[in-house]
Amino acid sequence: MSRRGIAGLALAADLLLGEPPAPLHPTVWMGRWLRGARERRRSRAPLASLAEGAAGVLAGAALAAGAAHLVGRQTDRFPRPLPALALGAALKPALALRALLDAGREVEVALLRDDLSEARRLLAWHLVSRDTSELSAAEVAGAAIESLAENLGDGLVAPLLAWRAGGLPAAYLYRLVNTADAMLGYRTPELEWFGKFAARADDALNRAPARLAALAVALAAPLGEGDGRAALRLALRDAGRTASPNAGWPMAAMAGALGVRLRKRGAYDLHPEGREPGPGDLRRARRIVAGAGILAAVAASV
C-alpha cells in the first residue's frame, strides 16, 4: 500500500486527539520492557553489562518492529479507505508533537504568572531530566525552548523519516531505540555500560533527523517572527558545542531563529551573544516547532 498521505493523517490525529491512555500506549509498553530488562540484568562487569543492555534493546526492537509489521499486514484486509485511516492511527502513537507543544505552553503560562517554582516543576516533569531547582526564569525558558527544538527531531522528524524509509516497523523500531536511550543512556555507575548500546544506537539513528529538524526550524522560523538565515548560520556554527552529536543542530537553529542565548551550566552555551530568553520567546518557539512539524509531515506524505 502507498505511504502517501499517511504521515499527514497520523499528525492530524496527534494534534486533534493527543496521547492515547497509558494502558494503550505502545511507548508505555516499550518502557515496561526496558525496565524489565534493566531489572533482569545479572552482571555489573563492563562487557557483560554492555552485552546485556544490547540484548535487551535488540530484542525489544525486534518485538516492536514485528508487532508493527503484523498490524500493517492486518490493515491491508480492510476495504478502502480504511487501510489508510488504520495506518495513520497506528503510526500516530510513534509521534509526539501535541504533547510537546502542550508541555511548552504549561511552562510558558507559569512564567507569565511569575510563578517560577511552578515553572521549574513543570519543566522537570514534562521536558528535562536536569535539576531545575536553582534555574532562573531565563534558564527555565531557555531549557524549555531547547527541549522543544531537540524533541522536534526525536519526537517527530525521526519517526516520520523512519516511516518513510521502512514503514510502520521502522517507525516503531526507532521509537523503541529512542525510548531506550531516554531510560538507559546515562553516564552513571549503574548505566554507563548497560545503556551504552542504546545511547550509541540512538545517536546513529538521529544523525540525519537532527539535521533535517534544524532545516525545518529554519524554514518555519517566520511563523514565530524568527530569522531562518540566522537559524541555519547558528546551526552550522554552534551545533558541535553540545556533547550530543545531534541535539545541538535543532537547538542551535532555534537559538539563531529566535536571537536568544541557550545554555546549560557547565555543559554548553549556544549563541552566547544572543539575549536572554523569556516566555514570549517560548511562545515563538512553539509556533516554529508546530510549523516545522507540519512541514515534516507534508514532506513524509509525498
Res 78: pLDDT: 85
Of 113 and 84, more confident: 113
Cβ count within 10 A of residue 176: 29
pLDDT at residue 246 in the model: 98
If you average pLDDT over residues 98-114, what whole number do you get?
A: 98
What's the predicted TM-score (pTM) here? 0.94
Q: For residues 42 and 50, what is the distance between their CA atoms, to the nearest angstrom? A: 11
Burial class (CB in 10 A: 0-12, 13-18, 19+), 255: buried
Query: Is residue 261 over pLDDT 90?
Result: yes
Q: How far apart are CA 202 and CA 206, in angstroms?
A: 6
> Three-state SS for 143?
helix
CA-wise closest residue to 251 among 277, 279, 225, 222: 277
Contact 155, 15 (CB under 8 A): no
What number is the average pLDDT over the span 177-202?
95
- What is the rounded CA–CA span in Å between residue 65 and residue 63? 6
**pLDDT value at residue 297:** 96
With 60 as the cut, is the pLDDT of residue 1 above it? Answer: no
Per DSSP, the three-state class of 137 is helix
Q: Give the rounded percent of residues in the chain with a pLDDT score beyond 90.
A: 92
Q: Read off the pLDDT of each residue in 183-210 and give the average, rounded to a whole number.
A: 96
**193: which DSSP letter?**
T
User: What pairs with residue 260 in β-bridges?
Assistant: 275
Would you say the C-alpha torsion 20, 26, 30, 35 has a positive or negative sign? positive
Mean pLDDT of 267-280: 97
- pLDDT at residue 2 greater than cutoff 70: no
Gap between the Cα atoms of 61 and 272, Å rounded: 39
Mean per-residue pLDDT, 268-292: 98
Q: What is the pLDDT of residue 302?
A: 83
Q: Is the pLDDT of residue 164 over 80?
A: yes
Q: Residue 240 has what pLDDT? A: 96
Reported confidence tier of residue 3, pLDDT bands at 50, 70, 90: confident
Is the confidence at residue 116, as pLDDT, over 90? yes
Q: Is pLDDT above 80 for 224? A: yes
Burial group, residue 208, by CB count within 10 angstroms (0-12, 13-18, 19+) = middle
- Region 214-223 average pLDDT: 99
Cell numbers at 53, concatenated: 543492555
| 61 contacts 173 by C-beta, under 8 angstroms | yes
Output the pLDDT for position 173: 98
Chain segment 42-96, per-residue pLDDT in tens: 888 999 999 999 999 999 999 999 999 999 999 888 888 888 999 999 999 999 9
Least confident range from 27-31, 52-56, 70-74, 122-126: namely 70-74
Mean pLDDT score of the chain, rounded to an integer? 96
Q: Over pLDDT 70: what percentage of the chain? A: 99
